[in-house]
């Protein structure tokens, strides 16, 4: 008779231990309560001003904090005596709350009265795609999600169609992406344009239409947006309007119709090639980039007959397609130097692929920055990013590019940087460019991102602890047999001299890890620095597991001890997961 082995399997429950306040919080509480066990409103005010660096904090502010904490401490409906004092645990609960003690502010604070060219603008690429660039669905859903996040530039590719009421579809041309009707896209933009921000939404159109269909689109745009639509003056702008002037307005940006038709007849449309790719034909030239090949840019001299567009005669009473374009595209002749020419009498937009931008900044970086001081530069992903991945946005930002266009469904590190940049300025979708990108230095010099600069500011970051994973993840999500082993990576994304990543030690078997580690980051250009925070769970047998991330603009970090909410790979905030960190500028 054989031997039988009986396996008894048990579900193991991991006990989550209570993690108390960090030692520094205990010491601060003792100091400001003068050794007592209750913190008054007046003592909390001193703590906020002196320890947290909130110079404008008042006793009224402190009183509101105490009231909010007392409401959280007691169940709804419970009657309690308002003593207006805090215990040590109350103070720690306040510090560890992302809602009550966030790392950055949530209000628009920058000057919004400068021309549009003075701002980085939250920009989408192929905004209608739900997935990859080849065979995903086209839908209004990603457009709505982007607008709710604060994206201010939406791109639509418009193509003729025989099976729709209006004869116009939105989809990624020469691919298997399923189309969506343009009217559905326009209605969704109208409904959600200002759900996250009152500042203007710019629609960039990649136009593949006949003149009659262009006239129909003009009619749809005017009827859909009505008073929301910004109508440009007949004469060309010498300077762009400001975000403040354009509040609650929809702006159209594209090439004048006949220039599109001319470009198509000369070069044709290739599969997976964005129409704007004509705009950087010089980028395909040898490394010296001195080609005489024609370059398509925005807003340059047009041919004599283009001002006699007869769209209106074909559809009487309707604004011509061309007359709706507030940020123009055009087609001058010449090479890179001509494309980046700054004209005093008019402003324009130039679109370049990420590859073309890299070549341009490598050989003509000064010209790129001079161009972006008055004009708008749009950068878009190269055509080979079929999986909707993205590129490093800092290359564009370091050279003043306002519209760094991203696939908002292309999750990953670079999209996290994009989210981080546009958490700035209250998340309104417009971030004022640093002064050094807008002004000339001695001898008419401009900013050089690669130059060796002195350290302007040093950021000291302390990572105390983390919590919330046991609430947002199943007990066996990270490890089937033991609690997780978390470590935190923290670093800077910015100019090359400032770029760095560091990490804490791994905290073994702990759902509420305490690291208590400090990092120093010398910054030469803090105005373009983003703080990257990423938590992973160490796994010996396979790749480490992702456990959350956040990216924050360094120039807006609030000094003191702050609660840092963490987000998933898609940029969606976890319900409970957060870190407790301290920021200090020295």
The answer to whether residue 507 scores a pLDDT higher than 50 is yes
In the predicted structure, residue 562 carries a pLDDT above the cut 70: yes
CATH number at residue 485: 2.60.40.150
Cα 186 → chain centroid: 22
Structural domain ending residue among the three candidates 418, 444, 470: 444
Give the span between the Cα atoms of 467 and 19, in whole angstroms: 9
Which residues 6+ apart lie within 8 Å of 570 measured at CB?
Answer: 411
List, for residues 275-301, the tens digit of each pLDDT value.
Answer: 544 444 444 433 333 322 223 333 333
The single residue of 118, 125, 169, 328 carrying the catalytic annotation is 125
User: CATH code at 91?
Assistant: 1.10.238.10
pLDDT in tens, 182-240: 999 999 999 999 999 999 999 999 999 999 999 999 999 999 999 999 999 887 788 99
Q: How does pLDDT run across 93-123, given as a tens digit for each residue?
A: 999 999 999 999 999 999 999 999 999 999 9
Number of domains in the chain: 3
Annotation marks residue 166 as catalytic = no
Close Cβ partners of 253 (under 8 Å, ≥ 6 residues apart): 202, 203, 204, 205, 298, 325, 326, 327, 328, 329, 349
Q: Is 328 tagged catalytic?
A: no
- Considering the candidates 172, 328, 399, 419, report the single residue annotated as catalytic: 172
Q: Are residues 263 and 316 in the same domain?
A: yes
Establish if 545 belongs to a structural domain.
yes
- Please tell me the distance from the alpha carbon of residue 586 to that of residue 583, in angstroms, as a whole number: 10
Give a yes or no: residue 53 inside a domain: yes
- Same domain, yes or no, for 411 and 463? no
Q: Are 510 and 389 found together in one domain?
A: no
Same domain, 289 and 358: yes
| Predicted structure pTM score | 0.89
Give residue 571's domain range.
457-585
Residue 508 falls within a domain, yes or no?
Answer: yes
Of 444, 466, 501, which closes a domain? 444
The 3-state DSSP class for residue 181 equals strand
Quick one: tokens of 529?
């620095």
- Residue 109 included in any domain: no
Q: Are residues 364 and 328 in the same domain?
A: yes
- The CATH number of the domain holding residue 130 is 3.20.20.190
Rounded CA-CA distance 498/523 in Å is 6
- Say how far apart CA 511 and CA 514 lie, in whole Å: 10
Q: What is the mean pLDDT of residues 124-133?
A: 96
């Amino acid at each position: 008779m054989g031997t039988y082995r009986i396996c008894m399997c048990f579900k193991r429950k991991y006990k989550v231990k209570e993690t108390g306040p960090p030692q520094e919080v205990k010491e601060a509480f003792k100091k400001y309560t003068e050794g007592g066990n209750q913190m008054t409103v007046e003592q909390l005010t001193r703590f906020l001003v002196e320890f947290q660096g909130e110079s404008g904090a008042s006793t009224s502010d402190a009183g509101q904090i105490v009231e909010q904490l007392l409401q959280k401490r007691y169940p709804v409906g419970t009657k309690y005596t308002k003593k207006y004092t805090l215990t040590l645990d109350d103070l720690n609960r306040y510090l560890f709350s992302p809602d009550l003690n966030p790392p950055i502010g949530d209000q628009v604070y920058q000057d919004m009265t400068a021309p549009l060219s003075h701002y980085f603008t939250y920009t989408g690429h192929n905004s209608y795609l739900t997935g990859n660039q080849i065979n995903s669905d086209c839908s209004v859903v990603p457009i709505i999600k982007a607008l709710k996040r604060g994206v201010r530039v939406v791109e639509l590719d418009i193509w003729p169609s025989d099976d729709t009421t209006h004869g116009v579809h939105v989809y990624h041309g020469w691919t298997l992406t399923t189309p969506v009707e343009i009217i559905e896209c326009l209605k969704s933009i109208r409904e959600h344009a200002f759900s996250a921000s009152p500042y203007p939404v710019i629609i960039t159109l990649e136009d593949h239409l006949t003149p009659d269909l262009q006239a129909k689109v003009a009619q749809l745009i005017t009827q859909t947006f009505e008073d929301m639509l910004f109508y440009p003056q007949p004469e060309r702008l010498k300077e762009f309007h400001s975000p403040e002037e354009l509040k609650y307005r929809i702006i159209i940006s594209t090439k004048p119709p006949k220039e599109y038709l001319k470009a198509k007849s000369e070069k044709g449309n290739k599969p997976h090639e964005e129409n704007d790719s004509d705009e950087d034909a010089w980028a395909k030239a040898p490394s010296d980039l001195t080609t005489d090949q024609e370059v398509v840019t925005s807003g340059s001299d047009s041919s004599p007959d283009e001002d006699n567009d007869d769209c209106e005669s074909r559809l009487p009473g309707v604004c011509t397609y061309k007359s709706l374009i507030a940020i123009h595209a055009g087609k001058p002749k010449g090479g890179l130097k001509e494309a980046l020419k700054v004209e005093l009498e008019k402003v324009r937009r130039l679109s370049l692929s990420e590859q073309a931008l890299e070549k341009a900044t490598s050989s003509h970086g000064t010209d790129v920055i001079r161009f972006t001081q008055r004009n708008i530069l749009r950068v878009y992903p190269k055509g080979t990013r079929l999986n909707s991945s993205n590129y490093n946005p800092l290359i564009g930002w370091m050279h003043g590019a306002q519209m760094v266009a991203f696939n908002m469904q292309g999750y990953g590190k670079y999209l996290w940087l994009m989210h981080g940049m546009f958490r700035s300025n209250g998340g309104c979708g417009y971030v004022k460019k640093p002064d050094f990108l807008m002004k000339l230095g001695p001898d008419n010099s401009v900013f050089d991102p690669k130059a060796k600069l002195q350290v302007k500011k040093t950021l000291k970051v302390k990572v105390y602890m983390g919590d919330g994973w046991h609430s947002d993840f199943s007990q066996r999500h990270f490890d089937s047999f033991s609690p997780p082993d978390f470590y935190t990576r923290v670093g800077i994304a910015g100019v090359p001299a400032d770029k760095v990543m560091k990490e804490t030690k791994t905290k073994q078997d702990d759902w509420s890890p305490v690291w208590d580690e400090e990092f120093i980051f010398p910054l030469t250009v803090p105005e373009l620095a983003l703080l990257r925070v990423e938590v992973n769970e160490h796994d010996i047998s396979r790749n480490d597991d992702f456990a959350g991330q956040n990216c924050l603009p360094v120039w807006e970090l609030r000094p003191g001890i702050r609660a840092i909410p963490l987000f998933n790979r898609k940029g969606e905030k976890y319900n409970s997961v957060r870190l407790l960190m301290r920021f200090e500028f020295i």
